[in-house]
Chain A
Amino acid sequence: MYPIFYFPYLTSGWIIAILATLHILPSHLVTSAMWFNVYIEWKAYKEKREELLEFVKKFTLLLLVFSYVFGSLSGVGIWFATMASSPRGISSLIHNYVWGWATEWVFFIIEVLGVFVYYYTFDKVDRRTHLIIGLIFAIGAWTTMVIIVGILSFMISTGKWIENGSFFYGFFNRNYFPHLILRTIFMFAVTALYATFISNFVRNEITKKEIIKKASLFGTLSIVLFFPTLYVYLNSIPLQSKEIYNLLVTPGLKIGFIIPILLVLIYFLLNLFTNFLTKLIPSLVMIIVIFFGIFVGERIREILRKPYLIPDYVYSNGIIAKDHKAKGVISDITKVKNGNGILEIFPFTPSELKNINENNILEAGKLVALIECSSCHSVEKAGVRPLKYYIDKMGFDSIETAMEFLDLMGENYIYMPPFLGNEMEKRALASFLISLRGSK
């Protein structure tokens, strides 16, 4: 367990979520945009229509500036933020999947070099060579998704990794292919929206209309195929995630996910037949709409893995949940069962809090809350899922009722990790929770 970095009111979980949100749009764009670009470039050469190349150049400039500034920096940013706020979680992933990430990095080099070379060699190298560069860039960009989806799926379903500790058994879990296909199909809808947006900067009206029609067709097909794939995806998640889905994914979240996607589908269908919504502002609005949908979708995916970061291995608060025999890991739960308290196994406990007494019980309780609760809950009176709100809502009237609740965590409340600690620490946490009650 590492020292805690706690961002007041927001919680560390939300810091990561904000950066992940910034990462979603540019990263989804890069994985698919080049397939569309290479197709249009190929068409321009084949049909000898130079005017189509104007779109290809402008679309690539968008990729270069938008995706490879905000995309790559926010991607690295997620890593940094996770290192600071959820070190045990990222450490567990890194120590399993370092070679997965390193492999992705090789394709990332191909992708980033690809975008620069593709953009700056326009009209400087012959067409066949340029198309080959485009194709290399397209394959490289999509392959980064092929790899990262393995690690993302592992955070929902670990396959037989839990028994044998094998990289590939965790990577190719039952959720992997449905997840990969789902994202692959969906990325074309994102590309189609960006292409519609960029077409506004194309001078030739005929080209503009043609690009919009082609993009809308891509987009329509993408979303039509998206729904059956989503069904398959939801069937591939483990039983525990299905229970969490039924329990926590509220109708509001479902609507927040589905409505934007349906709106985008309607938008594409309208663009197939009319032009009145293809201008700059409506196309930008639709990018924001799909962004909202993706954001909600990603939040749902994160909810599905509750209470874990890695199912059956690490809880969302960084506590190691279960022993891993194949890897020789003794869990934090086992360590506490062997007679230690959480403040004893937490290496950074101040010496004065090691023995809990009347004078330091609230401070000890706050430290336990910071260790076990603060990754999801604000320990202030306001902010993200503040503890105070839940204490008031559940009507705890004494330390004992709060302690009873702590006993039920992980059993009756399966989306939360169980309380970890000895009786005195439980009392300290309960005292701290009760101290938050009612005050403004």
Chain B
Amino acid sequence: MDVTNIIKNLIDPMGIPSFPLVFQFLLVLTFVIHILFVNLTVGSVFMSFFLSLKGNIYSKKLSTALIKVTPFFISMSILFGVAPLLFVQVIYDAFFYTASSLLGLYVILFIFSMMLGYTLIYISYFKKDKNEKLFKILTFISFTLFLFSGFVMHSISFLSVIPEKWMEIFTSSEPVNTSGSQLKYFQISRFLHFIIPSFINLGIFLMLYSEYYREREDMEKNYIEFVYKTGAKLSFYFIILQIIVGLWFLFDIPITFRFYLNPFLIVGKILSLILAFLLFKILKEGKIKGEIIALLALLILFFMSYSRESLRATYLSQFHYSIFDYKLNLDIGSTLLFLLTFIMGLIVISFLIYIPYKAGKTKGLYTSTDKELKWGKIAVSIMIIWLFVMVTLGIFITFNNIS
């Protein structure tokens, strides 16, 4: 069987319940948020370790602040990793499942490596003040485990776009190789291109962090300035490095793809240069609003993620695969269920983000305004209404199912 036929054989015969573009857009959108938090996790663990090696008091203070926020970053990485993991299985099932099976052993190691890394972060957090040496060791091990986990994910993604190698791996021993241990294909440049933004994005986070707390009277001004400058420097140096690695990565992509002409990539690169220029200005002349920098970084992530999606499509088009050819078995009911729940979710989630945002800016106890309380009550009410509608629908359909 040639590769194109193998792929045809693997695609799920059920088809998909909504248009491929919907899944593709959601895949990219949720991946942006996922990779942002993955970056913040990797960056904060490493910087927490690195700053703990330094003697000055602000470095130690920032190291503690970072390890405190890391569990939240990890949780968000997992939370926002669920959605792209779901959507990639819908439109790239043939590729993602095959790559996961062929690297099955690493998939299992990935799970335990993440669990161990996360656990060590909590131990580091609780031991920070009691045992500095242990803290340094644990954060470093944790960083290594997260890098390993990222490398496994990278290898699965890469193997999924080179189906011509699948048969070679599976038949590498007699009669077949079922060990899931043949990690032979990866691209260091591509992996680094995902990891280096950890420091750019963490730098931007630090700038936002210092701006957020600047208004609080109980915060030490010099410390806030230190955080801002550390963030700006980190972002600037690593964005320069990212531009160089980006070029290396471009050389690793087959020239026949003409990927350097990809519009998403070009916009992403232009925005990256603007960001580098703004960071340079910050280092030379002083402050630029953190929100502008953050917005720019988010736009870069979005365009780069879409260019990654285009690259995947280009790789797979060699085997006559396009998500737009996927069999459609439209299911309007379930599509609506998600979309309506998503809108409802935005109301609830924005409340959960807004209240701590306000509370963090206040010294002491924050009392919600009447409007905020009403918002909270609406959030509870719509969740109850959601449940009521589902149960009613459920009873009706259950009776139909039995009859």
Contact = CB atoms under 8 A, between A and B. Distances in A.
20 contacts: A3-B102, A5-B105, A5-B107, A5-B178, A6-B179, A73-B78, A102-B83, A110-B348, A112-B79, A117-B356, A128-B373, A132-B376, A132-B379, A139-B380, A165-B331, A166-B333, A167-B337, A169-B397, A169-B401, A348-B171
Interface string B66-106: 00000110011011011101110110010011101111110
Most chain A beta carbons < 10 A, residue from B118, B167, B365, B398? B398
Interface stretch (B10-18, B192-200, B294-302): B10-18
Contact of A146 (B5, B90, B390): B390
Interface stretch (B108-116, B216-224, B234-242): B108-116
Interface string A73-97: 1101101110111010011101111
- Does more than half of chain A's interface fall in helix, strand or loop, or is it mixed? helix
A371 to B, nearest CB: 10
A139 B334 CA distance: 21
A112 B10 CA distance: 35
Contact of B101 (A2, A72, A140): A2
Given A19-B111, A117-B356, A125-B366, A83 B180 contact: no
Contacts of A176: 394, 398
Interface string A51-81: 0000000000000110011101110110111
Contact of A92 (B9, B14, B180, B400): B14
Interface in B13-48: 13-18, 23, 26
B345 A106 contact: yes
B14 A327 contact: yes
A4 B75 contact: no
A133 interface: yes
Interface in B330-371: 331, 333-335, 337-338, 341-342, 344-345, 348-349, 351-353, 355-356, 359-360, 362, 365-368
Given A91-B12, A94-B86, A103-B338, A136 B101 contact: no
Nearest to B346: A106
B190 interface: no
A120 B356 contact: yes
B365 A124 contact: yes
B209 interface: no
A174 B401 CA distance: 7
A93 to B, nearest CB: 10
Contacts of B104: 5, 7, 12, 84-85
Nearest to B80: A109
B251 interface: no
A159 interface: yes
B175 interface: yes
Interface stretch (B51-59, B278-286, B381-389): B381-389
B183 interface: no
B359 to A, nearest CB: 5
Contacts of A345: 9
Contacts of A110: 345, 348-349, 352, 383
Most chain B beta carbons < 10 A, residue from A108, A117, A135, A171? A171
Contact of A125 (B17, B82, B96, B365): B365
A126 interface: yes
A347 B12 CA distance: 14
A134 to B, nearest CB: 10
Contacts of A231: none
B111 A80 contact: yes
Contacts of A107: 341, 345
A99 B102 CA distance: 28
B255 interface: no
A366 B177 CA distance: 12
A415 B87 CA distance: 33
A123 interface: yes
B329 A69 contact: no
Contacts of A117: 352, 355-356
Contacts of A92: 12, 14
